[in-house]
Amino acid sequence: MKRLLVLGAGTAGTMVVNKLRKRLDRSQWQITIIDQNDDHLYQPGLLFVPFGGYRPDDIVESRRRFIPDGVDLVLGEIDRVNADGNSVRLTDGRELGYDFLVIATGVSPRPDQTPGMLGPLWGTRIFDFFTLDGATALARALDAFDGGRLVVHITDMPIKCPVAPLEFTFLVEAYLRSRGIRDSVEIVYVTPLPGAFTKPIASTQLGSMLDERKIMLESDFLVERIDNEAKTLVSYDEREIPFDLLVTVPLNMGADYVARSGLGDELNYVPVDKHTLLSRAYDNIFAIGDANNIPISKAGSVAHFSVEVFADNFCQFVDGKPMTGSFDGHANCFVESGDGKGLLIDFNYDTEPLTGKYPLPFVGPFGLLAENRRNHWGKLAFRWMYWHLLLPGRPIPLPSHMSMAGKHQPAATDAKEM
Ligand SMILES: Cc1cc2nc3c(=O)[nH]c(=O)nc-3n(C[C@H](O)[C@H](O)[C@H](O)COP(=O)(O)OP(=O)(O)OC[C@H]3O[C@@H](n4cnc5c(N)ncnc54)[C@H](O)[C@@H]3O)c2cc1C
């Protein structure tokens, strides 16, 4: 028997085992997947928890439900990969061997990496919404908030779903209006980027949406520490931003075992070939989803499109044939903008988010970089698609490669790549 071992039963790992169990002969292949717990969290749903849109029960399911027959799910924390010996050790001492390894352990917010973030204000004035505990605590804090300076902050890039903090900012602005206290709140959006987003056209569009909502943008801000006594963010270039309520996205890092195993870069991301996701160091290890270092947004959509390419490639690879599929970095995300509206962005390694229609030219039904209600409904419908189509690895009628159909290519742009 050949052994395929998948580390992490989140978005990417679950899709991988569902796709490959159908493709790899059961009499020849044993497939095992490991995760540290049985709770599969639908992370895009975290955005709505602070506003009471979802309760924790609405976005957590048992992982077992999504692991197909013929795949062993092992619950335990990964301690180390011995890549030269083809084995993985868990913190409880169990050891699992493999012939092929897929690393899909994602990234996590790490507030411990910024001095002062986990100080006395953590959980009273400083919150995150990238974890279920954080998003639920923030819901209570927002409920009790009745005015002052609300700062939304990104520690450093890359983060998973880089539009999520912008979406949170648009939603909180609408939420404060709905409570009739918008005039007593100053909202500031603080980012390490030179503008509202990572690419010029989307950055201009999203930046003007901040302006329209009278939200201040503080760009190029790299936080050095948080001063709990003064209630300020302090940057390396000695700027200070005071806050009454701080909603921060801490540094996003890959799992610590990746570093302990000598498989990661300085943020514990696994270096891979960006088209095949094969490790640069070992030819029987792939890294898929947020866990790798490919130069595109960390997003569930990227995990999905790349798994489609990976599954075909993997079958060729283990048959000793060249991998013919080439992942193009395809990403797309709905961007909530408040008041029941949203935008959609669709892009890849070479093409930045453009305006137009998706997936069909003229027809859409979704608008690219344009606010409308359909995009908002698309975002809400995505939860159903996630549980029922994406995770089980069912076919979705969307091409895994980005298409230019429906997109408006600007004649010329003098905006600089950010
Ligand atoms: C607030 C928010 C909003 C988002 N919105 C969107 C969106 O609208 N659209 C979109 O496309 N994406 C969105 N994302 C991003 C998306 O959720 C992630 O990119 C996606 O889940 C990545 O999948 P993954 O499998 O790589 O990692 P994950 O789904 O995070 O899975 C990693 C798994 O590894 C396990 N693991 C980690 N370390 C260990 C260990 N040592 N031992 C055992 N198990 C371990 C974890 O328990 C986890 O189950 C959002 C994310 C957040 C936080």
pLDDT in tens, the chain (418 residues): 999 999 999 999 999 999 999 999 999 999 999 999 999 999 999 999 999 999 999 999 999 999 999 999 999 999 999 999 999 999 999 999 999 999 999 999 999 999 999 999 999 999 999 999 999 999 999 999 999 999 999 999 999 999 999 999 999 999 999 999 999 999 999 999 999 998 888 999 999 999 999 999 999 999 999 999 999 999 999 999 999 999 999 999 999 999 999 999 999 999 999 999 999 999 999 999 999 999 999 999 999 999 999 999 999 999 999 999 999 999 999 999 999 999 999 999 998 888 888 887 766 778 788 899 999 999 999 999 999 999 999 988 778 888 887 878 766 444 433 3
The residue whose C-alpha atom lies closest to atom 30 belonging to ligand 1 is 106
Q: 162: Cβ below 6 Å to ligand 1?
A: no
Q: 331: Cβ below 6 Å to ligand 1?
A: no
Q: What is the pLDDT of residue 414?
A: 42
Whole-number Å distance, alpha carbon 290 to ligand 1 midpoint, is 7
Q: What is the pLDDT of residue 367?
A: 78
Whole-number Å distance, alpha carbon 386 to ligand 1 midpoint, is 13
Q: What is the pLDDT of residue 27?
A: 97
Whole-number Å distance, alpha carbon 300 to ligand 1 midpoint, is 7
Instruction: State whether residue 278 is helix, strand or coil.
Output: strand
Whole-number Å distance, alpha carbon 411 to ligand 1 midpoint, is 37
Q: What are the strands of the beta sheet with 407-408, ordered from one edge? A: 331-338, 341-347, 364-368, 355-360, 407-408
**Residue 108, token pair as written in the block:** 């996590």
Instruction: State whether residue 132 is helix, strand or coil.
Output: helix
The residues pairing with 338 across neighbouring beta strands, listed in sequence order, are 341
Helix (H) or strand (E) holding 140: helix 132-144
Whole-number Å distance, alpha carbon 146 to ligand 1 midpoint, is 33
Q: What is the pLDDT of residue 287?
A: 98
Q: What is the pTM of this model?
A: 0.96
Cα→Cα distances 165→99, 146, 251, 346, 355, Å: 40, 21, 13, 18, 21
Cα distance between residue 336 and residue 214, in whole Å: 17
Which residue shows structure tokens 């580390």?
A: 7
Instruction: State whether residue 240 is helix, strand or coil.
Output: strand
Name residues whose C-beta falls within 8 Å of residue 280's C-beta, 6 or more positions apart in sequence: 271, 272, 273
Q: Are 107 and 43 in contact (CB under 8 A)?
A: no
Q: 106: Cβ below 6 Å to ligand 1?
A: yes
Q: What is the pLDDT of residue 362?
A: 67
Give the atom of ligand 1 at the shortest distance from the alpha carbon of 301: 11
Q: What is the pLDDT of residue 356?
A: 84
Cα distance between residue 221 and residue 195, in whole Å: 10
Q: How many CB atoms lie within 10 A of CB 146?
A: 10
Whole-number Å distance, alpha carbon 84 to ligand 1 midpoint, is 27
Amino acid identity for residue 322 in this structure = P
C-alpha Rg value of the chain to the nearest Å? 21
Q: 391: Cβ below 6 Å to ligand 1?
A: no
Cα distance between residue 412 and residue 149, in whole Å: 39
CA atoms within a 13 Å half-sphere pointing along the CA-CB vector of 310: 30
Pocket test for ligand 1, best of 43, 168, 345 (most atoms within 8 A of CB): 43
Q: Are 37 and 57 in contact (CB under 8 A)?
A: no
DSSP 314-363: HHHHHTTPPP-------EEEEEEEETTEEEEEEE-SS----EEEEEETTT
The residue whose C-alpha atom lies closest to atom 27 belonging to ligand 1 is 106
Q: 77: Cβ below 6 Å to ligand 1?
A: yes
Q: What are phi and psi of 185, to 5 degrees?
A: -125, 130
Q: Are 103 and 288 in contact (CB under 8 A)?
A: yes
Cα distance between residue 31 and residue 103, in whole Å: 14
Q: 306: Cβ below 6 Å to ligand 1?
A: no
Q: 343: Cβ below 6 Å to ligand 1?
A: no
Q: 296: Cβ below 6 Å to ligand 1?
A: no
**Residue 356, token pair as written in the block:** 């137009």
